[in-house]
Amino acid sequence: MIEYKGEQIRHQEAEYFDFEKEVFMKEIITQISHGMYVLTTIGGGCIVDAVCQISSGEKPLISISVNKTNYTNELLHSQNHLVLAILSKNVDGNVIDNFGFHSARDYDKFEKIETFEVNQIQVPKDIIGYLELEIEDRIENETHTLFIARYVDGKTFKDDIEMTYNYYREHKDEFVKVKTIKGETAWICTICGYVYYGEELPEGFLCPKCGVDASLFQKME
Ligand SMILES: Cc1cc2nc3c(=O)[nH]c(=O)nc-3n(C[C@H](O)[C@H](O)[C@H](O)COP(=O)(O)O)c2cc1C
């Protein structure tokens, strides 16, 4: 017997409550609203949604959380200058596919996408506008680095509605088409595009690329 919420319960039941609590955490965490951006710096960039304004004034601070396994994270440890491009609800799915489902370790992300330059940083053209930022601090946690960056400059081009992460999740089939081997059952990570082949995902499976669990995998037959 163990104690849970002040009550003595059997071990098996406690495991059920832990599972329930985890499911609840995942549900509630998606209710924190995020935007959708392409973060670029010299040599690469990736899609990010974990972005937040954390101070006000003429030159506000913005925090951006970047996974330590991303090549972009490595790049941002050797340079301070970056551009955060704001995506609209009507963005071409290739922009998300290019920056969110591939690593600049494997290929040149700027080859297939039309870009323009902001102080030597390539920025995709298909955006609402951008913020040019300068990193002032880096906070490391177990999975991500939180980059604290100061606003330097910015521009808006289109009067379009920005995309939120939840809008992307609800419409992701319209934006991203991951290619899989014909005739094989595949499980696709809806966050980073990693493909696992097999009838079922192994128990306790975590995405080897971005760390999310089985609930964020989609089965393709
Ligand atoms: C919708 C969406 C949101 C994402 N949000 C983040 C994020 O906030 N932080 C992050 O580190 N990666 C995020 N990613 C994952 C990276 O964009 C992805 O792993 C990318 O391929 C990394 O590329 P790189 O290795 O060239 O840096 C997101 C991906 C998608 C599709």
Tell me if 100 CB under 6 Å of ligand 1.
yes
Tens digit of each residue's pLDDT (9 = 90 or more) over 112-137: 899 999 999 999 999 999 999 999 99
Asked which of 16-25, 108-117, 140-149, 184-193 is least confident by mean pLDDT, the reply is 16-25
**Chain position carrying tokens 């995405």:** 207
- The DSSP element (H or E) to which 72 belongs, if any, is helix 71-75
Tell me if 66 CB under 6 Å of ligand 1.
yes
The rounded distance, in Å, linking the Cα atoms of 125 and 129 is 9
The rounded distance, in Å, linking the Cα atoms of 126 and 106 is 23
Same domain for 121 and 203, yes or no, is no
Question: Is 127:92 a contact under the CB 8 Å cutoff?
Answer: no
The answer to whether residue 1 is domain-embedded is no
The answer to whether residue 17 is domain-embedded is no
Which residue puts its alpha carbon closest to atom 31 of ligand 1?
100
- State pTM to two decimals: 0.81
How many domains are there within the chain? 2
Tens digit of each residue's pLDDT (9 = 90 or more) over 34-93: 999 999 999 999 999 999 999 999 999 999 999 999 999 999 999 999 999 999 999 999
Residue 93 belongs to domain spanning = 37-166
Which runs of consecutive H residues, i.e. helices, occur in the chain?
11-29, 71-75, 93-100, 165-175
